A and B are shown apart, each in its own frame.
Chain A
Amino acid sequence: MSKHKFKSLIITLEGKGGVGKSMISQIAVETARGPDGLAQVRVIDSDVNNSSMAQIYPDAAFAAIRDANDAAEAVGTLLLAMRDIASGVVDSAIWDTAAGTEDIIRAKVLDQIVLRARKENVNIVVLRPITTSVLVQQSAIDFAAAARERGIAVVFVRNSGQGRADKYFADWHSHAERLALMPPAVEVVLPDLGCWVADEASALRLSLADIAQGRFDHLGPQARTFAETKFTPGIQLFVADWLQMRCQEFGDAIAQAIANITHAKTKAQSK
């Protein structure tokens, strides 16, 4: 389990939908909460059409971005989060962005939060889901190149679930631009969790941590019975092992990405 303290705003960002953003954000939350789950983490959900994070984490802040007019409110929520990170109210904040909002975020939000991050000495880490889509891959690479200039740490999260076998990532593996960006960017693999575990968890508004720890008490009677039937002790154990490893790997990857970009910034400043 990750032992790192990140002091970071961690953003899951990809314009295309269905790439696993919410799953990745969930893992980021559990990673940032630390081994005991006691670290304070601010969860920010922007997915108006599918607010899965807000359903799983009832204390989540909500920062809708439908168009450029919403950006100001979202920026405010993020600046507040960074202030709380800097002052120690929370250790980190995880922002699960919505599909179709990457362009607005990059145009209207990113520069402002980068400026505040520098002032507050807070890290910004962007988790980029990678699928077999060439468009998604190129978008991630383009972002990573721009992020390097802005001092934003980047972690590529290669989603190997839903049948995305390694052979379909051959071009990604050999992509010259990607290789040139690593370091400072870092890559971590998101292995398959099984075709129905995530679906049922989402339907029941259960987090993976809930399943791993057998926490179904907060569900209604019928839902609880269903959950206990579906998520047998064997499945709970599987998810616990799986989540344990993901938190470790994500934690290491995020920490390394932060170290890399910090090193790069220091080198650039010393020149």
Chain B
Amino acid sequence: MVTTPPPAAHTADVPAGNILERWIRGWDWFWFHPADPTLLGALRILTGMIVVWVQLAYTVDLDALLGPKGLLDVHTVNEFRHNWPWMTIPASWESDMEAYFAGLQSLKPPAAEQRAEIEQYVRTWDVDPRLASDKGFPVWSIFFHVTDRTWIRVIHFSILGVMVLFTIGFCTRVTSVLTWMGAMCYINRNQWGLFGMDTMTNIGLFYLMIGPSGAALSVDRLIARYRATREALRQRRPAPQLGAPPPMVSANLVLRLMQVHFCWIYFAAGTSKLLGTAWWSGTATWGTMANYEFCPMNVPLYMGFLQLLCEHRWLWELFMTGGVIFTLAMELCTPFLIWQRKWRWIVLTGVVLLHTGISLFMGLTAFSFMMGVLAASFVPLEDIERFRRWLARRATSLKLMYQQAGAARQLRAASLVKAFDTFDQVELQPHAPRRESGEKVPADAPLQLITPTGEVLTGFDLFTGLTRWLWLLRPLALVTWLPGVASMGQSRFPGVSPVLEEAATNGVKRQHPEVAAKAR
């Protein structure tokens, strides 16, 4: 269904009221103001790429990390998730140990049938299970239950397939939920083999699942554009100018959730560092640069750099202190400054630099990339719109002529072109029943793409032309340059129109009649 949106309300013009009213309006604007979902679509693609990579990495390690007899076998993991003891925090002033021993003394000797079970629990956990207020974790994973090697692989590749669909944005409302659930299966099964990257990808997937992450930059959007255009063409209406996706409240909500969570992460990371003496003495950066297991100390160039620093103390101290100050400044100031429009790009640049450093010095590339994705939730939407308009100004206008009557294939093809025409470059126009010369346009007149210079392209040349001019299809232009692709395409889709055939034999490049008429 196609609708025309109402003009956007200027939300800054809110009437001043008492402080409670202002707070409520401010809260409402902050969380529930509609926003362009394009940024969310970009975040979906980036997060999806990381998640797919992480999944692929699991492929070579399935038995060791997910198998029933892996490094952390299913028996151990099940023991944790069923029996991990949680003790009540005493409500009085006694310590945990005092409360525990007091509780022990109050216990009656166990019944004979319970004794073996209690003793086994004590041997495993060193606490009496009768004193635990709760046991286990509410965690879940298909890999707790599936132990057959083949089925583990079937499930693994199924999840991988779903993640690919999520990344490209197909059936995103469903694949986003399935992707999060799939990722959680790995996280929960491998709980003690996780690190910061898993934490951040989970946060990203959790929020992307809530919001309309498939509303833009997605196959879903392409399909929706295709269907809208095809419906209009079938009903012999002009093809609609579809433009950017409509602003959505849920898109803004999710972006805000990501932004606030990102700020919490940075604030927690920064303030917790202040508990450490190495951060105060300015030497903490050394602990991240000289850690053999993380840093590229097996690379001679890197070791040479470290030695250069170590042989000149002033240089070492400046470098380390500078690193500490930069890290703390970023982590403590970002949560406040990033909300200020004039500081936004400066802070984002600092975040990128910080995580580039983490990636280079500590090898935590996937983690750094994911932090960058979360930080990207702060990219101003108006700057995205400005970039979109910049691209639109540089886009070439084209015209696509199609046969309206009885040519379902051409309608579909024209709709497909319009689906990829994200900047409304292509004007769809049905062939007129007769040409200027009066001759009837044949029923088999092909799809024709008319360039600004009047060149008429059909068949494979039409496709090549679209890849040159439509922004979304430009990456495919590389494919058309591959040896053999062009000749194969020409032989499969020759598509030369009777008009051009005459021009070709005469060696004259013929302009489209309309363009020629305008020139005259």
A binds B: no
